[in-house]
């Protein structure tokens, strides 16, 4: 019986999300929309990705989200938006998320970063957050 | 004239590396070994990757190395070892680097992570560092 | 003269597709829509991908479609829908296709699999098929 | 407590491997060699990759290995050899494994397939198996 | 001070683009739309991608665009359209661009090439250009 | 019967390679070493990759090799060395090949390019060729 791991995963999910009165898991896609193709996907995501991995000690939540975003930018994966929201929820600033994307340019190239920036830009607008620093202005 | 950017990049490089008496840039591969195929590569790496990007404000060095490592794990890139050394130099613990690799499993899959772990393991042995925590022991 | 290979490829295509009265090749994209950019693409696809490769002995059609789908999930390729239709045509059940996607999670990560699930879900709805088993229910 | 999932994973592992008198898990890499960098990796691999996923109903073992190999060929992942051994253990013939690699050429290109063929070739030699059919001879 | 590199990059950009009365940089995406997430992105793109790299001697513009397009096809990157326009601007014919895409099939597989063809097809239609040769007709 | 395509492919192969007295196909890997795992691979490579694609009009040989190299750099594929030899054979200079690798940095990132440079460096040394220009010296 895996209910302990499921509970551990759900606790981590609540910690990562801002409570949404209509949903027990806030903004996170945890497989509910795939019930008809993989009925156990919610359980697998909550137990493994959140219970086993996200709840594992060793890194704080801000580090975990930065690592996740960086890996998805490198993959060119479309699901990055959800993780940008999580980043803001756990205390990463818009400045840190934006700086992370720019930092990856030498490693993954401009195209992958521009794709990610477009998604982050939309999330920032939806969430009403904005960057506050300007590297070029700071230099002058 | 780009000497200012070059100097900025070299300053960042020194900050990221432990001084090696035989080399101004410590352990970092900055293109010296490619002089015969791209004589300007050292300049491009120092000016752009270090002067423009690594020296850019917005993230601290530990965050920058975690982001770099995460992107390279996702790519399956062999150059990850150099960045693990840099991580240790800027203050990431072996625990944090190891935890970052485990954290990426749900996003990039086991094979990419196992490849990276093998490289990190070798670097940890060479650098005489080791992880100190055991998630399973912590749970008991 | 390559007409023999073209015929062999067309025969294989007919075997893989449900006859569509408006098209000799059913649902398969075989390059017809690229006539203006690569007039020989239909020939290359039919002769090589179907005549040389799909008609090659060694695996049955169900195995070939599973292998194709698995490779495209790993690539993050958008063309997976067409191959899900082919899979249903050659006798793979919706259960087998869905189980294949879940099986790939540890190897390619959740994001690539979720992207593929969304496409498969749409194809299942269009084709009027559904999965019949529930691993969690089976366990109880 | 996850001992039930661990046992389920170990049972699946035994089913997939030929018993090796020196090891409870035969040829499979299940993270033992990463004890010093991720002490819980063996548990995560056995519980999740084998207990949750490989033991999940919906596909037979031969289909699961074909799907795994196909995904790793597409990724260009070096760990393919271990899965070729597993394939032979669960009853895939050398002919089927070799045919799977050739089948992937139109989807992932020649270079990825040639890389995988080199690994499969070495495994076939070590395991003393060989292909028995020749498509060109069969045609004549 | 980097104004010399910026000017060098802008000069290269003008050479690569057809002057658009409403924009100093024609059709090229040089980061203007990312001002709110990375205010220095335009500078980084113009200075590095155009000033340092595109203006570097060793290849002519037509070779540089062919190399860029080929790399992006292999990556499965959506930004290929902009580079197809640049290719036409620097003198690549529609025939050469289309032939480049077909040439990549054995190396990256059909799916990546078909994705790129769809984008190139749209750009050719927008720009009012068309291919003039037909390999199959040429053979007869 | 496909002997016409096979002959066309072999003719193209001879054009691309410097005759090696011990081999009809010079330095090119055309599947001979995979006879025991895929007896028809030589035929598939010669007929499709060389007969259908490399012999297709629309690009000259130098353009075709540049496109191939660029795609393989983006993939991180190890087989790039063989294509660097082909490039030298069809008239690309070491300067052009080296410049192509540097040109790809903004699109695929430094790591993929450094991996390719190492391979190209070894091929240049084996073939006794060297670059003749130095962008930094040219600027002064």
For residue B5, which of B45, B58, B60 has the smallest C-alpha distance?
A: B45
For residue C29, pLDDT beyond 50: yes
What is the reported pLDDT for F29? 66
Residue F118, C-beta contacts closer than 8 angstroms, at least 6 positions apart? none
* Calpha distance E117→B37 (Å, rounded): 33
Q: How many helices (H) and strands (E) would you count in chain E?
A: 8, 0
Work out the minimum CA distance from F39 to partner chain D, whole angstroms.
Answer: 6
User: Which pLDDT score, from 0 to 100, does residue E79 have?
Assistant: 86
pLDDT above 50 for B43: yes
Q: How far is A134 from chain F (nearest CA, A)?
A: 22
With the CA atoms of E14, E19, E22 and E28 taken in that order, what torsion angle do they form, in degrees rounded to the nearest 10? -50
Q: Which of B112-121, D71-80, E27-36 has the lowest mean pLDDT?
A: E27-36
Task: Decide: C103 and D56 in contact? Cβ < 8 Å.
Answer: yes
pLDDT at residue B47, rounded to an integer: 94
Task: Write down the pLDDT at residue D1.
Answer: 45
CA nearest neighbour of F117 among F105, F106, F135: F105
Residues in Cβ contact with C3 at an 8 Å cutoff, skipping those fewer than 6 apart: none
Q: Which chain C residue's Cα is nearest to E98? A: C37
Q: How far is it, in rounded angstroms, from Cα B26 to Cα B14?
A: 8
pLDDT at F3: 79
Q: What is the pLDDT of residue A23?
A: 59
Q: How many other C-beta atoms are found inside a 10 Å radius of the C-beta of residue B107?
A: 29
- By Cβ distance, the residue of E57, E58, E108 closest to F71 is E108
Whether E10 contacts E17, CB under 8 Å:
no
Mean residue pLDDT of chain F comes to: 89
CB E79 within 8 A of CB A112: no
Tokens read off for D64: 């699961």
The residue of A73, A109, A110, A115 whose CB has the most chain F CBs within 10 angstroms, and thus the best one to mutate to test that interface, is A109
State the best of A48, A59, A71, A77 to mutate against chain D, taking most chain D CBs within 10 Å: A48
Mean pLDDT, rounded, for B115-130: 96
Q: Rounded CA gap, C94 and C83, in Å?
A: 13
List C34's β-bridge partners, or say none.
Answer: none
Task: Check CB contact under 8 Å for C4 and F1.
Answer: yes
Tokens of A2: 């895996």
CB proximity list for B123: less than 8 A, separation 6 or greater: B81, B84, B85, B88
How remote is the C-alpha of E73 from its chain's centroid? Answer: 11
Write out residues 45-84 of D within 8 Å (CB-CB) of E. Answer: none
Distance CA E112, CA E105 (A): 8
Q: Which residues between 87 and 116 in chain F have a beta carbon less than 8 angstroms from any beta carbon of chain B?
A: 98, 101-102, 105, 110-112, 114-115
The Cα B39–Cα F117 span in angstroms is: 12
Instruction: Report residue F140's pLDDT band, with 50, 70 and 90 as the boundaries.
Output: very low
Of chain B, the end-to-end C-alpha distance in Å amounts to 61
Per-residue pLDDT of chain A (140 residues; tens, 9 = 90+): 457 889 999 999 989 986 555 555 666 667 788 999 999 999 999 999 999 999 999 999 999 999 999 999 999 987 899 999 999 999 999 999 999 999 999 999 999 999 999 999 999 999 999 999 888 885 54
Provide the 10 A C-beta neighbour count for residue E93: 16
CB within 8 Å: F39 and D112: no
d(CA C17, CA C28): 7
**What does the pLDDT look like over D82-127, one tens digit per residue?**
999 999 999 999 999 999 999 999 999 999 999 999 999 999 999 9
Q: How far apart are CA B67 and CA B29, in angstroms?
A: 18
What is the spatial distance between Cα D108 and Cα E111, in angstroms, rounded to a whole number?
8
Q: pLDDT above 90 covers what percent of chain B?
A: 74
pLDDT of residue C26: 65
Q: Kindly give, in sequence order, each residue whose CB lies less than 8 Å from that of residue C17, ignoring residues fewer than 6 positions away.
A: C25, C26, C27, C28, C86, C89
Note every long-range contact of E94-98, with CB atoms under 8 Å and residues 24 or more positions apart, other chains counting: E94/E124, E94/E129, E94/E130, E94/E131, E94/E132, E95/E131, E95/E132, E95/E133, E95/F58, E96/E62, E96/E66, E96/F58, E96/F59, E96/F63, E97/E69, E98/C37, E98/C38, E98/E131, E98/F58
Half-sphere exposure of E66 (CA within 13 A, CB side): 32
Alpha-carbon distances, residue A67 vs A70, A85, B53, D73, D114 (angstroms): 5, 14, 18, 26, 32
Highest mean pLDDT out of B125-134, D12-21, F1-10: B125-134
Give the confidence band of C111 by pLDDT, cuts at 50, 70, 90: very high
D94 CA: distance to closest CA in chain B (Å): 23
Rounded to 10 deg, the angle between the C110-127 and C61-75 helix axes is 130
Token output for B71: 């992107």
Whole-model pTM: value is 0.94
User: For residue range D35-94, what is the model confidence (pLDDT) as tens digits?
Assistant: 999 999 999 999 999 999 999 999 999 999 999 999 999 999 878 999 999 999 999 999
Residue C91 pLDDT more than 80?
yes
Query: Which pair of structure tokens corresponds to residue E109?
Result: 């597989």
Compute the distance between CA of residue D124 and CA of residue D130 in angstroms, rounded to an integer: 6
Quote the CA–CA distance of D74 and C71 in Å, as a whole number. 5
C-alpha distance from D103 to closest chain F C-alpha (Å): 11
pLDDT-based confidence at residue F24 (cuts at 50, 70, 90): low
Q: How far is CA B34 from the centre of its chain?
A: 19
D29-37: average pLDDT: 84
pLDDT tier, B82 (very low <50, low <70, confident <90, very high otherwise): very high
Q: Identify which of A76, A109, A121 has the shortest CB distance to residue E34.
A: A121
Q: Which CATH architecture has domain B59-140?
A: Up-down Bundle (1.20)
Q: How far apart are CA D87 and CA D81, in angstroms?
A: 10
Amino acid E48: pLDDT: 96
Q: How far apart are alpha carbons F89 and F15 in whole angstroms?
A: 9
3-state class of C128 per DSSP?
A: coil
Mean of the pLDDT values across residues D125-130? 95
Higher pLDDT, residue E24 or E76: E76
pLDDT digits (tens, 9 = 90+) for E40-89: 999 999 999 999 999 999 999 999 999 999 999 999 987 899 999 999 99
Question: What pLDDT, on a 0 to 100 scale, did the predictor assign at position A1?
Answer: 44
Residue C40 has pLDDT above 80, yes or no: yes
In the structure encoding, which two tokens stand for residue A97, read together?
């998320």
Highest mean pLDDT among B88-102, C23-37, D30-44: B88-102
pLDDT greater than 70 at residue F2: no
In contact, E107 and F66? CB cutoff 8 Å: no
With contacts defined as CB-CB under 8 Å, which chain A residues touch F106? Answer: 109-110
Q: Structural domain boundaries of chain B?
A: 1-56, 59-140
DSSP letter for each residue of chain D: --HHHHHHHHHHHHHHS--BTTBTTTT---SGGGTTT-TTHHHHIIIIIIIIIIT-TTS-HHHHHHHHHHHHHHHT-TTHHHHHHHHHHTT--HHHHHHHHHHTHHHH-HHHHHHHHHHHHHHHHHHT------HHHHH-
User: Residue E20 has what pLDDT?
Assistant: 53
Of A42, D117, E135, the C-alpha closest to F52 is: E135
- Residues in Cβ contact with F121 at an 8 Å cutoff, skipping those fewer than 6 apart: B34, B36, B37
Mean pLDDT along residues C48-56 = 95
Residue E115 Cα distances to C36, D104, E76, E120, F122, angstroms: 15, 18, 8, 9, 34
Task: Say which of E56, E70, E72 has its CB closest to residue F102.
Answer: E56
Name the residue among E79, C48, B1, A95 with its Cα closest to residue D109.
Answer: C48
> How many Cβ contacts (< 8 angstroms) between chains D and F?
52
Tell me the ipTM for this assembly. Answer: 0.92
Contact D130 F36 (CB under 8 A): yes
Residue F30 pLDDT class (50, 70, 90 cuts): confident
Question: Are D110 and E107 within 8 A, CB to CB?
Answer: yes
The separation between CA B131 and the C-alpha centre of its own chain, rounded to angstroms, equals 18
Cβ within 8 Å, pair C103-D57? no
The string over A57-82, giving b where at least 16 C-beta atoms fall within 10 Å of a residue's C-beta and e elsewhere, is ebbebbbbbbbbbbbbbbbbbbbbbb
- Estimate the crossing angle of helix A61-75 against helix C110-127, to 10 degrees: 60
Q: Which of A3, F95, F24, B84 is nearest to D5 (CA)?
A: A3
Query: For chain B, which chains pass the contact test of at least 3 CB pairs under 8 Å?
Result: A, C, D, E, F
Mean pLDDT of C28-56: 90
- Tell me which of F15 and D29 has the higher pLDDT: F15
Quick one: pLDDT at residue E137?
Answer: 80
Q: Give SS3 for B20.
A: strand
Local structure of residue F11 (DSSP, 8 states): H
3-state secondary structure of F76: coil
Query: Which residues neighbour B3 within 8 Å (Cβ) at sequence distance 6 or greater?
Result: none
**Backbone phi and psi for residue E77, each to the nearest 5 degrees, phi listed first:** -80, 135
Pick A110's closest partner by Cβ from E37, E39, E49. E49
pLDDT for F21 beyond 60: no
Confidence class of residue E1 from pLDDT cuts 50, 70 and 90?
very low
Q: Is E61 left (phi over 0), alpha (psi -120 to 50) or beta?
A: alpha
**Beta-carbon neighbour count of residue D85 at 10 Å?**
20
Give whole-number Cα distances, A2 to B103, D2, D48, in Å.
Answer: 21, 7, 12
- H helices within B18-139, ranges in order? 41-44, 61-75, 80-89, 94-103, 105-108, 110-127, 135-139
């Amino acid at each position: 019986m895996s209910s302990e791991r499921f509970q551990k995963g759900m606790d981590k999910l609540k910690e990562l999300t801002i409570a949404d009165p209509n949903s027990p898991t806030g903004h996170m896609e945890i497989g509910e929309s795939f019930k008809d193709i993989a009925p156990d996907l919610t359980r697998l995501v909550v137990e493994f990705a959140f219970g086993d991995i996200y709840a594992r000690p060793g890194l704080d939540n801000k580090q975990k989200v930065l690592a996740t975003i960086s890996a998805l930018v490198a993959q060119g994966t479309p699901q990055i938006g959800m993780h940008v929201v999580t980043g803001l929820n756990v205390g990463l600033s818009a400045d840190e998320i934006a700086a992370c994307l720019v930092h990856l340019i030498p490693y993954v190239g401009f195209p992958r970063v521009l794709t990610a920036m477009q998604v982050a830009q939309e999330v920032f607008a939806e969430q009403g957050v904005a960057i506050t620093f300007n590297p070029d202005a700071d230099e002058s």
